[in-house]
Structure 1
Amino acid sequence: MSAVVEYLKAPVHDLFAWARISSMWPVTFGLACCAVEMMHVAAARYDLERYGIFFRPTPRQSDAMIIAGTLTNKMAPALRKVWDQMAEPRYSVSMGSCANGGGYYHFSYHVVRGADQIIPVDVYVPGCPPTAEALLYGVYMLQKKIKRNPYRKEIMEQDFNQPGKLYRAEKELSVSDNLKLLKQQE
């Protein structure tokens, strides 16, 4: 009996994978200049809608989030709130140097050094700002990841699943700490 059940589960698994990758609905979290490239990829030349990707205005209708731009300490709680409102399984794409690790503003006191300190990130798209082709490739990589595991069975760290919790580096850097780090790099 278990062999028959396994045989029937395989096509269902493939159907769910196909449905998830063919109808990805990301919510946009545009914070800076990378958001312009995100708008560019939705325009006529690249047209994400051909791939079944429709930007949604609300996180409750979305299953992915594209974080584009510099994430500040004041914006981090809003990012976490939007992330908590999304239904499971949910995915995220960090777009640009600032969202990936702080970018040019890495040593600034008000910048979060990567969106992965606030929410789990599935795909990183490098660049300052990344091109529309790079974002398309990042979305393609996310689709490949979803196809491998459409149910999101790999559970992230348990802490990431606690709603409303912010994730920070162990020590916040002060202005004097940032100046010391800059002098060490010279």
Structure 2
Amino acid sequence: MRTLQNLVLRFLSLAVLCGSLGAVAYVAQAADQQPAVGSVAPDFKLLSQENLPVSLKDFRGKWVVLYFYPKDFTKGCTIEAHNFQVDLAKYEQKNAVILGVSVDTVESHKAFCDAGGLNFKLLADTAGEVVAKYGSVRETGTSKVAARNTFLINPQGSIAKVFLGVDPNKHSEEALAALAELQ
């Protein structure tokens, strides 16, 4: 009888372990999957460079260009942010706002905006939760940063277009063209 109990306990332990590993694999898989076009964009609340909370639902009724980028002050990210700033009036004419998200801090975003003359919101996702919700995690050695992905979100809050692994040199133009097509 004792041997049967040990066998049952071992089986249950193995089942729990396998279930846990499956859950971990599911979470890892979910972090790599972007929300599909037509699905409701995952909501979030993050702090902006002004240290004020910003939620996606704050922008219902507007188009949102939600762009993820790896790091403030790096070459590609600086180019991409600069190009969005240059085109900002064109986005505003299309009833669109630009929201940049990275795992950098509020303070880093403030300095980046000040240095680059950026007049749109950069959001601090230091825990990487929103980056993961949008399947935009990129591992770099021992740390994780945001992958260079963009989501166009329509005024009703649904994903209208997804750009993966964008070229920072021409991405603002691509996003504007897609926005024009979608409208």
Structures share fold, TM-score greater than 0.5: no
The structure with higher relative contact order (CA 8 Å, sep 6+) is 2
Query: Relative to total residues, which structure has the larger strand share, 1 or 2?
Result: 2
Structure 1 or 2, whichever has the larger Rg, is: 2
